[in-house]
Amino acid sequence: MPLLRPALPYLVSALLWALLTGIANLVWGPALAPSPLAISRALASLLFSGELLRELWLTVYRGLAGVLLANVAGALLGLAAGLAPFVLKVTAPLVAGLQSCPPIVWIALVLVWAGVGDFVPVATVFAATFPFVFSNVAQGTLGLSPRLLAMGRLYNVPRLRVLRRFVLPGILPYYLAGLSTVLATGWKAAAVAEFLGSPDGAGARIYWSYSRLNMEELNAWALALIVLGLSLEAFLITPLRKKAASLASRGRA
């Protein structure tokens, strides 16, 4: 029984999904609301054909590529802005504007500039996640003790050593907190961008299922994306958030 306890919330959610899907099937009929069995059969067909894993991998790959670019640019620029508060003050409105801008704007612009393809979801994920990394790293850098930085300069401690031994450990909790948000956002932004501006990927498959009114396949792809999101949340995002909270509490202590 203790082994089943972590899986219990997921089992309850699966039963609720099956119940609600079954009710919808009875109310609207199989043409608009397929039964849980029909959706499961469609999902199994996609899995055994290899299409499911191939398209999900494209979505994850594009999301990770955008997240990686956002992390590199956001960490470097956030570190520089945190060490120079004037730069942070000047760039704050621009970063806030990027953060509040809906992904549909970037999708439309990139579609005009580059057409359909990998670049659309990667650029959309970058634009959607860069502000989180930049802001968190900049705030973490601002929170460093200026006395320790001054002491490092006084005793001529090499800058690389100061960066490795003091600056990076100090901003790590902020960075991990931002990274967990970025990972939670990135794959969803990639799927939305694929729906509107890519010929393949899970988001594009949802679009083609919708355009053909293939409701079984549409629900199967939606279920696959939900399972992907839950897996990322359970095995990657939640551990990162716990690690960030642990490091932050240790730093306060």
Q: Domain 37-42+52-252 in CATH: superfamily?
A: MetI-like (1.10.3720.10)
pTM: 0.83
Going by C-alpha positions, the residue among 226, 187, 235, 219 that lies closest to residue 43 is 219
How many CB atoms sit inside 10 A of residue 24's CB?
A: 16
Residue 170 in contact with residue 152, Cβ under 8 Å?
A: no
Instruction: State both tokens at 108.
Output: 């439309």
3-state secondary structure of 31: coil
Q: 41: exposed, middle or buried (C-beta count within 10 Å: 0-12, 13-18, 19+)?
A: middle
Residue 21 in contact with residue 36, Cβ under 8 Å?
A: yes
Q: What is the pLDDT of residue 41?
A: 94
Return per-residue pLDDT of the chain as tens, 253 residues: 555 677 777 788 888 888 999 898 889 988 888 999 999 999 999 999 999 999 999 999 999 999 999 999 998 888 888 878 777 788 878 888 877 888 888 888 888 887 777 888 999 899 889 988 998 888 888 877 666 666 666 656 666 766 667 777 778 888 887 787 888 888 888 999 999 888 889 999 999 999 998 999 999 999 999 888 888 887 877 787 777 777 656 554 4
Going by C-alpha positions, the residue among 231, 83, 55 that lies closest to residue 150 is 83
Sign of CA dihedral 155, 159, 160, 162: positive
CA distances from 121 to 13, 62, 110, 225 (A): 30, 6, 9, 16
Q: What is the pLDDT of residue 203?
A: 92
Gap between the Cα atoms of 197 and 222, Å rounded: 18
Alpha helices in the chain (DSSP H): 8-28, 36-49, 51-83, 85-100, 103-114, 119-142, 146-154, 159-162, 168-197, 202-211, 215-232, 238-252
